[in-house]
Structure 1
Amino acid sequence: MAASTAQPQLLVQYLVLRKDLSQAPFSWPVGALVAQACHAATAALHVHRDHPHTAVFLQNLGRMHKVVLEAPDENTLKDLAETLQQKSIDHTLWLEQPENIATCIALRPYPKEEVSQYLKKFRLFK
């Protein structure tokens, strides 16, 4: 019997972070933006901790794949959240408190091909 040479499915956690928060009039420091992405990623992993993809993703911490994309503004981020909700794509929309500002969306880990169609208009965060 031949051994299987199939590679395990690559899982990616996508984050979409608001770019306008780094610019005037907001001018948030880089650390604050990184914290928003971290909050969203952690929340999505926690909320979806029982999903098999999340379990596999967390089994090999040194090989996690995350992609951080940028949304130009809050409306675009909220529109994406609505689309993901309608398409039953598991995600977390992080709201910074106490201001209740939508800052970042994190999807639970997914195979890239399952969610890339919803994210193709977003470029890598710079």
Structure 2
Amino acid sequence: MDLLGKPGFSVGALITQGAHAAVAAIHKYQSCEETKAYLNDLDSMHKITLAIPDETSIKELSDTLNSARIDHYLWMEMPENIPTALAIRPYPKEFVKDYFTKLKLFK
């Protein structure tokens, strides 16, 4: 189910969920060299926000990333226990792009 259809999930609330996931991923993987380099070049930070259709899809993506040992953070909104956002730590684009090719930019 699309979160925008649920009570309490406006576009702003979804943006906040993404911010939570991004900060959590940076914190969790702060000792990784790519994360350190990313944080040391604040003016060149690059992020993209992709849309994922439903709860099943975001959980499956997280499982796929876990199997591939791609470091990420799946943000769970509490107390509802709903996965709302997923963020990977900084990686070279070539290393992770294939996991996200089927997703479109969030609009």
Give yes or no for TM over 0.5: yes
Deviation sequence 1:42-97 (CA, Å, 0-9, x none): 00000000000000000011210001101000000000000000000000000011
Match of 1:80 in 2: 61
Give the number of the structure whose alpha-carbon radius of gyration is greater.
1
Match of 1:15 in 2: none
Higher relative contact order (CA 8 A, sep 6+): 1
Match of 2:36 in 1: 55
TM-score, normalised with respect to structure 1: 0.81
More strand per residue: 1 or 2?
1
Match of 1:37 in 2: 18
Q: What CA RMSD, in Å, does the superposition of the two structures yield over aligned residues?
A: 1.1
| Helix, strand or coil at the partner of 2:15 | helix
5+ residue gaps, structure 2: none
- Runs of 4+ aligned structure 1 residues displaced above 4 Å come to none
Q: Which amino acid aligns with 1:124?
A: L
More helix per residue: 1 or 2?
2
5+ residue gaps, structure 1: 1-18
Percent identity between the two aligned chains: 48
Bigger drift between 27-36 and 51-60 goes to 27-36
